[in-house]
Structure 1
Amino acid sequence: MSALNRFETRSDKVFNLFIVCALCLVTVIVAYPLWYSIIASFSDPIKVMNGEIHLWPQGFNWEGYSSVLENERIWTGYRNSLFYTVVGVSINLVMTVLAAYPLSRTDLKGRNAMMMVALFTMFFSGGLIPQYLVVKSLHLDNSVWALVLPTAINTYNLIVMRTFFQNSIPTELYEASYMDGASNTRILLSVVLPLSKPILAVMFLFYSVEHWNSYFNAMIYLSDKKLQTLPLILREIIIQSSAQDMTGTDPNATERMLQAESIKYASIILASLPMLIMYPFIQRFFVKGVMIGAVKG
């Protein structure tokens, strides 16, 4: 790096400084909402509502977390969301790999037509009502399958993984494997997947976030409260805690309003915590997987 720095002109240094400042600004803009939610969840709700919270907590308050964690439905939601995420991501990865691998092979006849069909579904779909009718007619509503089967393959993720296989797996490996007598299944399991850890980690993150934050589909297909996901349960808790006596006759209305403010930010942190914990472990694969698997040409 020192040798390269000697060849940097003044304009190069100014440009690099501008890039660093711009990235720092973007980082602050992206990270501050999360930081604000964290400090607001531990702050006095009165100070939060008055706009006195900026960079550090004011008036430490644990009541929001206590109220949320004491609710048994929170743990039910965590268990359900964890189960849906594990089952859903497993299905997503298996189906995406099984679709992307053959579509990445140049010796597959009609692969371009198949990709066009898959790409068509990315821009055009039957809509919400036909999808609901299909799920209902198959008796999948009020079950985990209603949340994982309709979204078994994400077209964008399929394209990214297919591009990764095309650009990162040398054709010489396929030829050598065929000469050794390996079948396509053996090549996929023993050659392709061991070399595809970056893209698998990226897909794992994408699908995990999608299932963990599952809200709309869960709201449509799950009417049984015992099966509802964490976002749905947190929404219900926030709505219940925010309910006020519209006539103004409730003497505890102000207290409940302050409690609702604490519960709101505590719920945001508790819902985001699993993904925040998981991300650092796969971050080292993330950039490589996204860049190599990006759509090119």
Structure 2
Amino acid sequence: MAAVTGIKDSKRDRIFVIGNSIFLILALIVVAYPLIYIVSASISDPKLVNSGDMWLLPKGITFEGYQKVFANDSIWTGYKNTIIYTVVGTIINLLVTLPAAYALSRRDFIGRNFFMAMFMVTMFIGGGLVPTFLVVKELGMVNTMWALILPGAASVYNIIVSRTFFHSTIPTELQEAAQIDGCTNMKLFIKIVIPLSAPIIAVMALFYGVGHWNSYFGAMIYLNDAAKYPLQMILRQILVLQEVSAAGGKGAVVNASVAAAMNNKAEVASLMKYAVIIVSTLPIIAVYPFLQRYFVQGVMIGSVKG
């Protein structure tokens, strides 16, 4: 019997594979370099970082930046506030998004097309910053955490993705069988639909959680009390401080001791800037591996099918 030979790739296939490999390598470099640079800069001598001598791997290793960060009470306060805003905000987001998406996925829901159209209108037409601020102010939410959470309690895009997931994953026959057994719509949603929806719940929790964790613009607009600032606002203040410190020594006539003090302040601020970036992104990076399996499954089902 003649041996079965494998199918050989054509010349075009080999060129395609090589081209893909080159593209992926370049994409990896573009994505990985800033991450490696920030990690290296956070533990390198700021003089070497500012002069450009450190461009990839750390040089003149020092942990002074992290020591300053961990000794700064405002950063810990920002951390606490961000965790509260993220946890509470994500829970509210899920409580609003998932029931709305499930209701819109039900074929027997009267008026679902009308409500879906009304939701989608908000994706193209918005009131703007000033009307939104006036609404938040009239509701008495200025300088409270609710100003950062309730205005964005639901994302229409996330509702559409979740609706598609429910529509393509939860069989109509399962709903009908549960109703025949006397199961109410609420019990059906809580006892049957939610346990079967772990992938989309993980995806929505990650989407909303990352959004809350990285948000700073709402705090800049609605919060007046520095004790309520999230971590990203504290990071922004450190960045501004670093820029002001660096600009303060330009064109100024100062003696050597003052110039040295200003330069040292700018270097410490630069170290803290990179250290805070690492400290602020670590929790999200640490959580993602545990949600990756659900994340990939939920995105594929919720976005491609249906």
TM category, shorter? over 0.9
Superposition deviation, residue 140 in structure 1: 0.6
**In structure 1, what is the Cα distance between the partners aligned to 2:281 and 2:59?**
22
Residue 9 (str. 1) matches residue 9 (str. 2):
yes
Aligned-CA RMSD value: 1.7
**In structure 1, what is the Cα distance between the partners aligned to 2:116 and 2:253?**
60
Change (3 A) 1:201 1:141: same
Matched-pair contact (CA < 8 Å) for 1:103–1:162 = yes
**In structure 2, what is the Cα distance between the partners aligned to 1:83 and 1:36?**
30
> 1:81 is paired with a residue of what secondary structure?
helix
Residue 81 (str. 1) matches residue 90 (str. 2):
no
**In structure 2, what is the Cα distance between the partners aligned to 1:20 and 1:85?**
38
TM-score (norm: length of structure 1) = 0.93
The corresponding residue for 1:205 is 206
Matched-pair contact (CA < 8 Å) for 1:218–1:229 = yes
Change (3 A) 1:260 1:104: same
**In structure 1, what is the Cα distance between the partners aligned to 2:253 and 2:82?**
38
What per-residue deviation string (whole Å, max 9, x for no partner) do you get for residues 117-152 of structure 1? Answer: 101101111000000000000101111111110000
TM-score (norm: length of structure 2) = 0.91
**In structure 1, what is the Cα distance between the partners aligned to 2:192 and 2:22?**
43
Residue 141 (str. 1) matches residue 142 (str. 2):
yes
Matched-pair contact (CA < 8 Å) for 2:168–2:305 = no
Max radius of gyration: which structure? 2
Residue 284 (str. 1) matches residue 293 (str. 2):
yes
**In structure 2, what is the Cα distance between the partners aligned to 1:214 and 1:182?**
41
Superposition deviation, residue 241 in structure 1: 4.3
**In structure 2, what is the Cα distance between the partners aligned to 1:99 and 1:24?**
42
Amino acid at match of 2:115: M
Amino acid at match of 1:267: V
Count of residue pairs brought into register by the alignment? 293
Superposition deviation, residue 12 in structure 1: 3.2
The corresponding residue for 2:57 is 56
Amino acid at match of 2:207: F
**In structure 1, what is the Cα distance between the partners aligned to 2:24 and 2:191?**
40
What per-residue deviation string (whole Å, max 9, x for no partner) do you get for residues 223-266 of structure 1? Answer: 01111111111222333344333524232122122222211111
Structure 1 residues 1-297: aligned runs within 5 Å: 6-7=6-7, 9-10=9-10, 11-244=12-245, 245-246=248-249, 247-249=252-254, 250-251=258-259, 252-294=261-303
Superposition deviation, residue 16 in structure 1: 3.3
Report the more deviating stretch, 134-143 or 30-39. 30-39
**In structure 1, what is the Cα distance between the partners aligned to 2:295 and 2:223?**
33
> 2:151 is paired with a residue of what secondary structure?
coil
**In structure 1, what is the Cα distance between the partners aligned to 2:152 and 2:253?**
46
Superposition deviation, residue 6 in structure 1: 3.1
Change (3 A) 1:54 1:103: same
Superposition deviation, residue 110 in structure 1: 1.2
Change (3 A) 1:28 1:286: farther
Structure 2 gaps of 5+ residues are none
Structure 1 gaps of 5+ residues are none
Amino acid at match of 2:172: T
Percent identity between the two aligned chains: 48
Superposition deviation, residue 36 in structure 1: 1.1
**In structure 2, what is the Cα distance between the partners aligned to 1:241 and 1:9?**
56
